Structure 1
């Protein structure tokens, strides 16, 4: 019996079951696919696939459905991820290029992934602990306050109001900003947040006090902002798609939706994939491969989009998933997001 032919039969069963959600029989396979063999041969191949645990009968029906192991073999044997069409790539680019900042990029990414795949989408913010400072700017606000703008390598822009502790006229404010702008960037650009904060505190200790106390106050305020500890963040969207696919989950949707409400669960979903990607940088975890309670009937397709912080994005849905199209969409969107952040 040919292993290649059995794989062809398995591939046909996966494709038909994903398309119809109905168990697939030998007759349907012969009608829909050019297998080039007899009905008896197809039945024998299906029996062998069942013996190997790659397909199973959900009930007394003559049809069969893929098991987790069957989906895994199907995914592992994908020679390459089929690229999206030019129209699809243009649509992704046009939707994301309108973003105004990092928050908008990732918010649009969640909506886009959910729409493209028909699954729930998850996007992890780039880790602020690994981000480096790209630029620091001070902007006049009032006679006793400045606006601090910090641009990070992840594309994130942070703004804070700095209290000068004294009142200055417009000329003094301009002089203060001009006096500090170069030094702030000299001591921070290219450094991660914590080292940049430490460098500013060292510089502040060297500054003159007295009439120039506002200088030290500003530098120390910038250092405090850079030293802030931030929790890793994730965005989740498209959970309504899971409800529409409720019949695909062996258990009720309750445990699944409960799990997805937990912030740390979402981070674990994405962090588990780092280093596991085998298909053009895209990782797939299927069914029981997900050890998190409530996710045993789901598949997760993810990839990293930021190499510095290993931030990832992906989609989650039932194991009855169009894997090739989903993997292609995840990979393509990740590449566009990476380009936007880098630029």
Structure 2
């Protein structure tokens, strides 16, 4: 026999499901008609009264219908017994789309586009933090006898290209020696450690390479230092306007807040473990402008290293099970791709 607490939770689940789908307050008769709860309309009304008294649902106006509160959504999310996994076809489509990426920037762009399409929310992904990255390789490509293109490649797939004027004419043999010096010193080093090593390079360089190595080091340090303005990619912002009714007084504030990278980084701050989904609902969000939204976020990376965070932002009236499944699936594939 179902306990009264379990039955009330079933009523709450029915209210959440119907309100998310229809965006209309849910009445007891609709719950009895649409959901096979095995109880009378009078019992459902009593359960709704109890849920309202406890703050899980509320009556937005004088109609007979009720809608979930932030507290109600929280209980719903906390008691999700099962998040429906994506279908095999959906997983294959995600894998194929992401593995078609040509570099890290393309992976980031494809990820937010995919998440926005799957969830119909605003998607955001944080670039792999440079403090956890290591130098994989530094390539020098001669453009002219006095100019090279320097390419920094990290273990997370980040590729940074810079043009460097060497001042004097430098032959291919000298370029090869410079390449060897840079890679023997920097390969395998964390970017923060590599930046310190680069500053020391000119002091120990052969006399004939000291000037070009000084010029290369000056430019290379810029690539090794964290660039906060490059750390986030957003996609699907127009999806918020599709749900404008969910933000009767605050849509503009939400859109402006999303433009502030600091605000968005704070939304992802709870993602401290790869693979762990965090859901923050309404008032649980630190930024006041975001308290009409919910954020579903997750850390992505390898088993050993958290590289960054990603997630979706939308109204509190969102399809939590679907969004959680989509965020988790995309994060898994991004972590696998960057890990390889």
Aligned partner of 1:301 in structure 2 is 296
Aligned partner of 1:196 in structure 2 is 194
Q: Please point out which of 282, 290, 293 is paired with 1:287.
A: 282
CA–CA distance in structure 2, aligned partners of residues 4 and 65 of structure 1: 19
SS at match of 2:61: coil
CA–CA distance in structure 1, aligned partners of residues 80 and 52 of structure 2: 21
Aligned partner of 1:152 in structure 2 is 154
SS at match of 2:168: coil
Number of residue pairs matched by the alignment = 335
Give how far 1:298 is off: 0.8
CA–CA distance in structure 1, aligned partners of residues 273 and 60 of structure 2: 31
CA–CA distance in structure 2, aligned partners of residues 318 and 74 of structure 1: 15
Aligned partner of 1:22 in structure 2 is 24
Q: Please point out which of 75, 78, 81 is paired with 1:76.
A: 78
The question of whether the paired residues in 2 share the 8 Å contact of 1:207 and 1:215 is answered with no
Aligned partner of 2:245 in structure 1 is 247
Moved >4 Å (runs of 4+): none
Q: Please point out which of 311, 314, 318 is paired with 1:314.
A: 311
Q: Residue 187 and residue 334 in structure 1: after superposition, are their counterparts in 2 closer, same or farther (change >3 A)?
A: same
CA–CA distance in structure 2, aligned partners of residues 229 and 296 of structure 1: 30
Q: Residue 256 and residue 19 in structure 1: after superposition, are their counterparts in 2 closer, same or farther (change >3 A)?
A: same
Please identify, of 187-196 and 238-247, the stretch whose mean Cα deviation from structure 2 is larger: 187-196
Aligned partner of 1:216 in structure 2 is 213
The question of whether the paired residues in 1 share the 8 Å contact of 2:58 and 2:69 is answered with yes
- Give CA-to-partner distance per residue, 1:232-273, whole Å, 9 cap, x none: 5211221111111011124241211121121211111111x2
Give how far 1:108 is off: 1.2
2:258 is the counterpart of 1:256: no
SS at match of 2:49: helix
- Give CA-to-partner distance per residue, 1:161-220, whole Å, 9 cap, x none: 22222114xxx32x12332333322211221223113223434322221x3445633653
Mapping for residues 19-58 of structure 1, pairs under 5 Å: 19-58=21-60
SS at match of 2:296: strand
Q: Please point out which of 43, 59, 62 is paired with 1:60.
A: 62
SS at match of 1:294: helix
Aligned partner of 2:121 in structure 1 is 119
Q: Please point out which of 164, 167, 178 is paired with 2:166.
A: 164
Aligned partner of 2:90 in structure 1 is 88
The question of whether the paired residues in 1 share the 8 Å contact of 2:104 and 2:159 is answered with yes
The question of whether the paired residues in 1 share the 8 Å contact of 2:164 and 2:216 is answered with no
CA RMSD of aligned residues (A): 2.0
The question of whether the paired residues in 2 share the 8 Å contact of 1:282 and 1:303 is answered with yes
Give how far 1:324 is off: 0.1
- Give CA-to-partner distance per residue, 1:134-153, whole Å, 9 cap, x none: 11111121111111111012
CA–CA distance in structure 1, aligned partners of residues 225 and 280 of structure 2: 35
Which sections of structure 1, spanning at least 5 residues, go unmatched?
none
Q: Residue 235 and residue 193 in structure 1: after superposition, are their counterparts in 2 closer, same or farther (change >3 A)?
A: same
Give how far 1:61 is off: 0.9
